[in-house]
Amino acid sequence: MAKAISEIQAEIQELEPLQKRELLGFLVADLEGSTNGELDEVWLKEAQRRFQELKDGSAQGIPASQVFAKLERRLG
């Protein structure tokens, strides 16, 4: 028997933010009918595009320390 939506919502509220993002990604992919292989290919292409931008200088990286500090300020 399937769980009630209210039970699922309660369980979701107990998840860590990263777990919620992973679940959201799964739900979106499921709704769009994508397979993990298709998503992996899309992300690989995106990663390759971003890497090329870094190599050719059309984009600049941000130090991880700055990224994490910004996240810490936003998430508290």
The pLDDT value recorded for residue 48 is: 96
User: Does the pTM of the predicted model rise above 0.85?
Assistant: no
Determine what percent of the chain is predicted with pLDDT higher than 70.
95
pLDDT at 6 over 80: yes
Domain locations in the chain?
5-75
Rounded alpha-carbon distances, angstroms, from residue 56 to 22, 34, 49, 51, 64 = 31, 32, 11, 9, 20
Residues 54, 61 contacting (CB under 8 angstroms): yes
**Segment 32-69, tens digit of pLDDT:** 776 667 778 888 899 999 999 999 999 999 999 999 99
Residues 50, 59 contacting (CB under 8 angstroms): yes
pLDDT at 30 over 90: no
